[in-house]
Amino acid sequence: MRMTNPQDLITVSIVGAGSRAGAYINALEANYHGKFKVVAIAEPRTERQKYFQEKYLIPNHLIFGGYEEFIKQPRLSDIVIIATLDDMHYVPVMDAIQKGYDIILEKPIAMSVEETVEIGEFGAMHSNQLIAVCHVLRHSPFFRKIKEIIDSKVLGNVIDIQHNENVGYYHFAHSYVRGNWRNTQISAPFIVAKSCHDLDILLYLLGDKHCKRIASMGSLTFFNQKNYRPDVMAPRCADCSIEKDCPYSALKIYSSGKIRSVVFDTSTEETLKKELQTSHYGRCVFACDNDVADHQVTIIEFEGGIHATFNLSAFTDKIHRSIKIMCEYGEIRGIETTKEIEITHFGTNEKTVISPQNLAGGHGGADTGFIINFMETYLNNKPFDSTLSMSIESHVMAYAAEESRLQNGKMIDVAKYHQLIRDKTEGRKIG
């Protein structure tokens, strides 16, 4: 629901001005330059406040130290981007829905399945507002091309899918052992925080096929205190006697340039070592307070007798998604990083390799595709490809998978699980 006249600039507020909010603003700049203006910022880091304030000439009274101050204000803009850490989503989202904002919400939706479902129910009561969860992979040229092949029925119906998220050993060490997503007290479970994307992609590729049952197994097998050896290791990599031989060494990972989301002074080994002596990113991977699984395997049954396996693992050299879709008359194989899709027709030697052309921007152009889809829906009433209800379904699947993992792989009826959460949420409201 726009506050401004159609001829005016679209106004945007940012709650949580980190890298993800920056990616969406960059996509807006690249594709809708001159059509929007950032008018308010809620962000504790002064350097990020200063960056946006200077770029968009935001007055001091519209710069806030966090969402707590932002939600005390009346509605300040047409759109709000909420890209805070996982444990800071629920309150600003519910407030934004109440005040009539159109919303771009970074995933995961919330820290718990109860909060997630409650946001979904509240959002459904405000159907005139556009609430877009950033399941950006639906908008990538790579997955869109795969869906186009499936929908064409050139290979018949889908029977089975194998999908893998290869997290990368160094990325897992950075984000899920040392970083902000390491512990379920401060973030959503691993499969929710990292892979609600992937479960959403399975739903997207299968169209109208809902998830019926799900089971999952996995554990924190390697990155734990059992593997800490105090005789040769130290609590921090900078002090460790075997640091030079350890692939998980913080000095190695951050000096390599593989991880760029944390800014260290890497001009010399000594300056990096000094920084890692105090930063939580300098800790030994076996001496952290992490509790999320480091690998997880999930089995899924969809409507129509379609089955899928999803493998999520820290123990890969490269960071990428790979997928194999087995159909009645052929198969599709895809690797996200190379953007190569191989189509094989059974009974012939015919193989076709397609390389969809990327859009500019992160996630292989998916960030850009998401923003374009959002804005075309917002400005021109075009259909939006990732509604809040779709995103709720993939999140419920992810939380059900985690529930199964904690119950030693128990098979969960997803519809019953979702209804149980609805009932609990309704009870909480009444209470």
Span 111-151, pLDDT tens digits: 999 999 999 999 999 989 999 999 999 998 899 999 999 99
Please compute the mean of the pLDDT values over residues 224-249 and round it to a whole number. Answer: 95
Please compute the mean of the pLDDT values over residues 338-363 and round it to a whole number. Answer: 85
Closest among 196, 22, 130, 98 to 385, alpha carbons compared = 130
Q: Which residues pair with 131 in a beta bridge?
A: 103
Helix axes 388-406, 113-124, angle to 10 degrees: 160
Residue 428 has pLDDT above 90, yes or no: no
Using CA atoms, how far apart are residues 198 and 290, in angstroms rounded to an integer? 23
Beta carbons within 10 angstroms of residue 1's beta carbon:
11
Q: What is the pLDDT of residue 419?
A: 92
pLDDT category, 338, cuts 50, 70, 90?
confident
pLDDT category, 276, cuts 50, 70, 90?
confident
Q: What is the pLDDT of residue 263?
A: 61
Phi, psi of 175 (to 5 degrees): -90, -35
pLDDT category, 87, cuts 50, 70, 90?
confident
Q: What is the pLDDT of residue 85?
A: 85
Both tokens of 326, joined, read 């087995």
Q: What is the pLDDT of residue 93?
A: 97
Please compute the mean of the pLDDT values over residues 218-230 and round it to a whole number. Answer: 96
Please compute the mean of the pLDDT values over residues 178-185 and round it to a whole number. Answer: 92
Rg (CA), the chain: 22
Largest CA distance in the chain: 69
The domains located in the chain, with CATH, are 10-106 (3.40.50.720), 138-223+291-362+387-415 (3.30.360.10), 238-282 (no CATH)
Q: What is the pLDDT of residue 270?
A: 80
Please compute the mean of the pLDDT values over residues 4-25 and round it to a whole number. Answer: 86
| pTM: predicted TM-score of the whole model, two decimal places | 0.92
Q: What is the pLDDT of residue 365?
A: 80
Beta carbons within 10 angstroms of residue 335's beta carbon:
17
Q: What is the pLDDT of residue 83?
A: 94
pLDDT category, 430, cuts 50, 70, 90?
very low
Beta carbons within 10 angstroms of residue 199's beta carbon:
27
Please compute the mean of the pLDDT values over residues 159-163 and round it to a whole number. Answer: 98
Percent of all residues in the chain with a pLDDT value above 90, rounded to a whole number: 76
Q: What is the pLDDT of residue 262?
A: 57
Q: What is the pLDDT of residue 1?
A: 61
Using CA atoms, how far apart are residues 100 and 276, in angstroms rounded to an integer? 44
Q: What is the pLDDT of residue 225?
A: 95
H helix or E strand, kind and range, residue 203: helix 190-206
Please compute the mean of the pLDDT values over residues 42-64 and round it to a whole number. Answer: 94
Looking at per-residue confidence, does 306 or 258 come out higher?
A: 306
Please compute the mean of the pLDDT values over residues 63-73 and round it to a whole number. Answer: 96
The side-by-side arrangement of strands in the sheet containing 102-105 is: 63-64, 36-42, 10-15, 79-82, 102-105, 131-133
Pairing of strands 307-313, 320-327: unpaired
Using CA atoms, how far apart are residues 101 and 123, in angstroms rounded to an integer? 11
Please compute the mean of the pLDDT values over residues 160-186 and round it to a whole number. Answer: 95
Using CA atoms, how far apart are residues 81 and 71, in angstroms rounded to an integer? 13
Using CA atoms, how far apart are residues 271 and 376, in angstroms rounded to an integer? 47
Q: Give residue 300's Cα distance to chain centre.
A: 20
Q: What is the pLDDT of residue 431?
A: 36
**Terminal Cα-to-Cα distance of the chain (whole angstroms):** 31
Residue 361 has pLDDT above 70, yes or no: no
| Mean pLDDT rounded to a whole number for the chain | 91
pLDDT category, 240, cuts 50, 70, 90?
very high
Helix axes 414-430, 113-124, angle to 10 degrees: 80
Q: Do the Cβ atoms of 50 and 29 come closer than 8 Å?
A: no
Q: What is the pLDDT of residue 339?
A: 85
Give the pLDDT confidence of 198-217 residue by residue, as tens digits. 999 999 999 979 999 999 99
Q: Helix, strand, coil proportions of the chain in percent (round to 5)?
A: 40, 20, 40
